[in-house]
Amino acid sequence: MKPGTPYRYIEHPFDTEFGVDTSGYIGARELATAHAHDAFNNGYSAIAPSVFREAMRRWQKTLSSSRARMEAYSFVDVGAGKGRPVLLASEFAFRKVIGVEINPSLVTIAQWNVEKWRREHRSSAPMRVVCADAASFRWPRTPLLVYLYNPFERDLVERLINRLRAAFSAGPHPLDVLYVNPVHSDLFAQGSGFKHVWSTRLTMDQSDQDADPYATTTDVVSQYRLAPNPSGARR
């Protein structure tokens, strides 16, 4: 068992209420796929819904009139696991919601969750989960919010940042990143092209605390924004 995870599986009230399967902790070794990037995987656990919703509220407040409206943004969960953030993000008015996950077993669970959610619960945005490597995923050519719940070790996070910068720094669309449990936040520091917007420690509501596999009560969340191209390219 990974240190700091005393409760490998407690069914979360979110799953009980909506009849989905997003709970628990699964270690990185249990998720091995024989892919070269398995070594960078941090394992699976899902964001507390109360933390996710508050982080989204804070992100929305940063969308000034000079930037795209939320309805223009695509939401991409990198390392989507069983897909809880995809379900939660579909409550908001995104242009589309995409989960990217490399483990086929988790993708199967996430896709089942998405289909059940789509049939039985209201969704404000189209959503899907794809089985793909985040290091080669083709980003939507729209305003973009990338969501990370500490999915990878340092080398792969750095590669991800470089790919995002290459795809968006000279283009017309804005790019934001929400990074939960930002272990490698220093990679977004000077030289990455990203600007730090805010960081805060968010407290889970009681139901989230009771079901947390790490027996914690808070998560740190940081937002980063790709800075405008100094050459004057339109953002």
pLDDT digits (tens, 9 = 90+) for 74-116: 999 999 999 999 999 999 999 999 999 999 999 999 999 999 9
pLDDT digits (tens, 9 = 90+) for 9-32: 789 999 999 999 999 998 878 877
| 3-state helix vs strand vs coil in the chain, percent to 5 | 35, 20, 45
Q: What is the CA radius of gyration of the chain?
A: 17
Q: How many domains does the chain have?
A: 1
- Does residue 4 form part of some domain? no
- Does residue 159 form part of some domain? yes
Read off the pTM.
Answer: 0.90
Supply the mean pLDDT for the chain.
89
- Does residue 145 form part of some domain? yes
Residue 198 has pLDDT above 60, yes or no: yes
What CATH number does residue 222 fall under?
A: 3.40.50.150
- Does residue 120 form part of some domain? yes
Q: 22 is in which domain, residue-wise?
A: 13-226
**pLDDT band of 231, cuts 50, 70, 90:** low
Q: Which residue type occupies 41?
A: N
Give me the mean pLDDT over the 141-158 stretch. Answer: 94
Phi–psi pair at 26, nearest 5 degrees? -125, 125
- Dihedral sign of CA atoms 1, 35, 152, 203 in order: negative
- Does residue 48 form part of some domain? yes
- Does residue 100 form part of some domain? yes
- Does residue 111 form part of some domain? yes
pLDDT digits (tens, 9 = 90+) for 157-185: 999 999 999 999 888 999 999 999 999 99
First to last CA, the chain: 46
Token pair listed for 190: 């000077």
- Does residue 168 form part of some domain? yes
Closest residue by Cα to residue 140 from 231, 228, 77: 77
